[in-house]
Amino acid sequence: MSSNKLDLLKKSLANVYGLYLKTQNYHWNVKGSDFYQLHIFLEGQYKDLAETVDDLAERVVTLGEKAPGSFRDFQSLMTIDEAPADTLSADKMINDLLLSYQTTVECLRTILPFCAEDDDAGTEDLVSSIIGDLEKKAWMLKAHIS
């Protein structure tokens, strides 16, 4: 089993957790004429992301490793930026989320070649499914930009 694959899975887990927190933050702090729609929409997204975090963590454990689970762990592994301290406009929040989705999907894609090397269809299926789900979430976010 490739240690690179496990390292990338942990990094992806941290990125999805960071995306979850950022989405929840923006859900709480969004303002503007489309507040209600975005508030509800972002709530659905962060709830879905919580399930993805769980799926990735359980896969890490299934492969025999300890899943990272502290803020310190996640901060050291994340390759996405945290939400800025300033309050952003709704469009800037969405653009920031889109960048985080892009970075997270790119990280997940780097796992796939290692799955082929290890003949690890379970991880490949999970990662491919998550990539598709995150791409759909990003597409839906793009539709909100005015």
Q: What are the per-10-residue average pLDDT scores of the chain (146 residues)?
A: 88 98 96 93 97 98 96 97 92 96 98 94 98 97 86
CB 41 within 8 A of CB 136: no
| Cβ pair 59, 126 in contact under 8 A | yes
| CATH number of residue 50's parent domain | 1.20.1260.10
Q: What is the DSSP letter of 31?
A: -
Q: What is the pTM of this model?
A: 0.95
> Considering its fold, how many domains does the chain have in total?
1
How many CA atoms lie within 13 Å of 22's alpha carbon, on the beta-carbon side? Answer: 27
Torsion of CA 63, 68, 69, 72, to 10 degrees: 180
User: What is the identity of the amino acid at 121?
Assistant: A
Residue 2 DSSP code: -
**121: CB partners within 8 A, 6+ apart:** 115
pLDDT at 146: 63
Give me the pLDDT at residue 59, please: 98
Domain, as residue range, for 92: 3-142
